Amino acid sequence: MKVDILAIGAHPDDIELSCSGTLLKHIDLGYTVGLLDLTRGEMGTRGTPELRMEEAENARKMMGAEFRKNLWMAEGFFERSKENKLKIIEVIREHQPDIIFANALNDRHIDHGRGADIVAEACFLSGLQKVETEGSDGKIQDRWRPKAIYHYIQDRQLTPDLVVDITDYIERKIELILAFRSQFYNPDSKELETPLTSSDFFDLIKGKNKTFARDTNYTYAEGFNVTRTIGVQDLVKLD
């Protein structure tokens, strides 16, 4: 099925942490959304890959996304190879999204910047006629290039090129993040501590979203970067 937006993350929970408020808002506006994870998060300090997959599907249902797929690339070690790009191209061509959300252009985790690059390259290659891929039905897929790629901001405090008002969605965003219960604060857990497991982690999430919102007078916003010029039809309608 075709979707309006395909959100892609290197790990299960990248999407929820960084752009789920925007996705919730656009689903409520009537747009269709699909989710794609490159890896299973198998190198994560807490939990297991199987549990992460279960948590990811629960989050999808809570969000209302049409589907969630996982490409089973190797966390920490996936490469910008032809094989991996073709895997992403097949999903893009199958679902023909107009917009792609992708990982941060530069970030603390090595998979995030690498994920941003491989997705951007796959989006370009997906529009080339001579790059051939087969769909699940065994037929050659039609070429498809999304109209835009928006890179959501993750750990590092990058300066956004645009922000989306998520004031009405901040609490639902937190609920989606908490669907990944193995990854966040749990005083009863005996597993190792990580940057995500501190008791004030969600204060940091809300604080970042408040910071993104400040210049536009929203209460909470999510930030995105772009690598091409953004076109505007009506300046008066911009916030």
Q: Is the pLDDT of residue 91 over 80?
A: yes
State pLDDT tens for residues 15-29.
Answer: 999 999 999 999 999
Answer whether residue 186 shows pLDDT above 90.
no
Flag whether pLDDT at 85 surpasses 80. Answer: yes
How distant, in Å, are the alpha carbons of 41, 124, 177, 193 from that of 183?
Answer: 11, 34, 9, 10
Domain boundaries, the chain: 5-237
Strand partners, 221: 165
Residue 65 — pLDDT band, cuts 50, 70, 90?
very high
Task: Write down the pTM of the prediction.
Answer: 0.95
Q: Among 115, 136, 129, 165, which Cα is nearest to 67's? A: 136
* pLDDT above 70 as % of the chain: 100
In this predicted model, what pLDDT tens digit does every residue of 159-180 receive, in sequence order? 999 999 999 999 999 999 999 9
Query: The CATH number of 5-237 is which of 3.30.70.260, 3.40.50.10320, 3.30.830.10, 2.40.30.60?
Result: 3.40.50.10320
The residue-averaged pLDDT of 97-113 equals 97
